[in-house]
Amino acid sequence: MRRSWGERSFDAGNIAFMLALSLITLYPLVFVLFSSLSDPAEVVRNRGLLLYPKGFNLDAYRLVFDNPNIKTAYLNTLIYVVCGTTVNLVMTSLGAYGLSRRNVLWKNAIMFMIVFTMFFEGGLIPLYLLVGNLGMLDTRLALILPTAVSAFNLIIMRTAFQGVPVSLEESARLDGAGDWTILFRVVLPLSLPVVAVMVLFYGVYHWNSWFPAMIYLQTRELLPLQLILREILIANDTSSMMGNVPSGDEMPVGETIKYATIMVATLPILFLYPFLQKYFVKGVMIGAIKE
Amino acid sequence: MARLQRELIPAPEFKSNRFGARVLRDFKLNRTVYLMLLPVVLYYLIFQYGPMYGLQIAFKDYIPAKGFAGSPWVGLKHFQEFFESYYFWRLLGNTMLLSFYSLIFFFPAGIVLALLLNEVANPKFKRAVQTITYMPHFISLVVIVGMMVDFLSSNGLINNLLVSVFGIEPIPFMRTPGWFRTLFIGSELWQNLGWSSIIFLAAISNIDPALYEAARIDGANRFKQALHITFPGILPTVTILLILFIGRFMTVGAEKILLMYNPVTYETADVIQTYVYRKGILQADFSYSAAIGLFNAAISFALLILANTIARRVGETKLW
């Protein structure tokens, strides 16, 4: 197709804009990566952009991986991600299955009860007091049970389940299958893309979550990685990291430790995400449009 | 076989006095389904409706030993105290301004990006841009704000560049109230611009290609196609998201503000929800902070209903 001069210059400008946007999005992360790999003294001396690591040095990563605080916190985060996401998936699948059936009398009432909580909620203080009254303060349960289902994700999954052809379910019933069999052998296997999106959404939520841990947990041994990160990055307290660094080197190494910690805490997610990206559009679309 | 028939044949109409029989029949037929729904319903009753029940302490003086129900009623005392407090207008203003800025700067940006991405002809390039711009959405707020603190510090990347290019004094960005909103919205754009375009892109892909065909035959160029087909095509999606946005108007990213602000920037950064956190969790002033939280939730809910009513009157797109 022939394109006018105006269209071609628009295309060129558009591509330049996309390139600039991608660069702005990527560069902060690249800067952190390069800094984390650089010689600490060079990082402190450096004034401006980094285009490559200056003086390759892995000490910061060694300190991060040797640090008992980070190790415990990393393990805790893994526990919260695995247990939390498992509870989320079980609850969301059960709810989505029940609410996607036809001929269930109380379906709409239950659906209304769930959707209503998306628009009005009790809020932070009553929830905090409730968690306390249930005796869950300072326990791991406080990070898992209060967020066991997300109404938004439940709706996404219900819509996906409604898309499973009825004929498959009917033939399973002819073979004597009950609801449990239909859920696990028919509906879930046919909805794997949406299950993948759920694993990503819930898993990333637990990985990145810090606020519930801050208000519910006190014991240091229970804290997830994000709270330790907060100490290091925002309260700017790298002292807990400085096990056996000669005192003169503390300041420069403190800088690269920050960058190395960011990398260690972020890379697992950034590696996981491109593989699941193709399912997003579907998931996000269903969730926002079908209320 | 009997089960199957019950599933397939629509239930016969029952008269209203047979409601009990209908409930009983439904329960027999669907008891496994109800068993599955039980944990979900229990979750909602405990962790979502439990706090709503607990909201009564907004009208009481909460005494932990006496619980939600046993604490003495005090009427609207806490609300009155909040409305008369020095912080009331500042909190309300900060909350609404921050939301308003994200409505005019952040919300349209996602639509514009989607329209521009739609014009990218090379699918591989388009996909690469999408992959890159969606990515920051998955980075934790702690890391985002941590990077901001680092880059914006007086000897951080941004100040170093500013000093070497313009030769100005380093700006203490994170400790200047005047910079807070810019930084908040700017970082929001960096993190979520790409992500917010997804839904509009999905809406664009649902537009009937025949419309573009017809427009081309009528001699419409790409700009006119975008204006007269693509944009109207995504308008229902835009309306729904706008309603939802207005419903969340009072809940501006409090978690991010808690990480970003410090007493020096409270002047522009402190919003209702962060104040609730400080009063309620840090100072254990439960009833007072629950009252402020309820005030906030009530405004949100009212705004949502208002937005939906307006959308209903104006067009046919609505949330319910």
Which of A136, A133, A269, A135 has its CA nearest to residue A199? A269
pLDDT tens figures, B238-295? 988 888 888 888 888 899 999 999 999 999 999 999 999 999 999 999 999 999 999 9
The predicted pLDDT at position B56 comes to 95
Q: What is the mean pLDDT of residues B134-153?
A: 93
Kindly determine whether residue A174 and residue B22, on different chains, have CB atoms separated by under 8 Å.
Answer: no
- CA atoms of A24 and A19, how far apart (whole Å): 9
Out of A232-241, B7-16, B147-156, give the one with best mean pLDDT. B147-156
Per-residue pLDDT band for B4 (boundaries 50, 70, 90) equals: very low
- Cα distances (angstroms) measured from residue A216 to each of A222, B65, B164: 10, 19, 45
Q: What is the pLDDT of residue B148?
A: 94
Which range has the top average pLDDT, B137-141, B307-311, B316-320?
A: B137-141
pLDDT at B8 over 90: no
Residues 4 through 43 of chain B touching chain A, CB cutoff 8 Å: 4, 7-8, 10-11, 22-23, 26-27, 29-30, 32-34, 36-37, 39-41, 43
* pLDDT value of position B2: 45
A98/B contact by beta carbon, under 8 A: yes
Output the pLDDT for position A226.
95
Contact A147, A212 (CB under 8 A): yes
A 55-84 near B (Cβ less than 8 A) = none
- CATH 1.10.3720.10 given to domain B80-314: yes
Contact B133 A120 (CB under 8 A): no
Which candidate, B133, B301, B313, places its Cα nearest to that of B239? B313
Q: How far is B1 from chain A (nearest CA, A)?
A: 6
- What's the rounded Cα separation, in Å, for the pair B273 and B96? 12
Q: Measured between CB atoms, does A141 come within 8 Å of chain B?
A: no
Does residue A45 or residue B4 have the better pLDDT? A45
Rounded to two decimals, the pTM is 0.89
- Give the residues of chain A that fall short of pLDDT 50: 289-291
Hey, which of A103-107, A145-149, B8-12, B315-319 has the most confident mean pLDDT?
A145-149
Q: Which residue of B has its CA nearest to A132?
A: B64
- Best of A54, A124, A125 to disrupt the B interface by mutation (most B CBs within 10 Å)? A125
pLDDT at position B255 is: 94
Does pLDDT of B5 surpass 50? no
The angle at the Cα of B169, spanning B166 to B170, to the nearest 5 degrees, equals 100
Average pLDDT, rounded, for chain B: 89
CB nearest B23 (choices: A105, A125, A126)? A105
Interface membership of A20 toward B (CB under 8 Å): no
CB contact set of A207 (below 8 Å; sequence gap of 6+): A77, A81, A268, A269, B140
Q: What number is the ipTM of this complex?
A: 0.90
pLDDT digits (tens, 9 = 90+) for B44-89: 999 999 999 999 999 999 998 898 899 999 999 999 999 999 999 9
Q: Between residues B6 and A269, which one has the greater pLDDT?
A: A269
Q: And the tokens for A100? A: 């996607």
* Residue A67: predicted pLDDT: 87
Name the helix (H) or strand (E) containing B125: helix B123-134
Domain ranges of chain A: 11-56, 60-289
* Overall CATH class of domain A60-289: mainly alpha
Mean pLDDT of B153-165: 86
- What's residue A238's pLDDT? 67
Cβ atoms A150, A91 nearer than 8 A: no
Which residue would you say has higher pLDDT here, A19 or B227?
Answer: A19
Task: Say what the pLDDT of residue A87 is.
Answer: 98
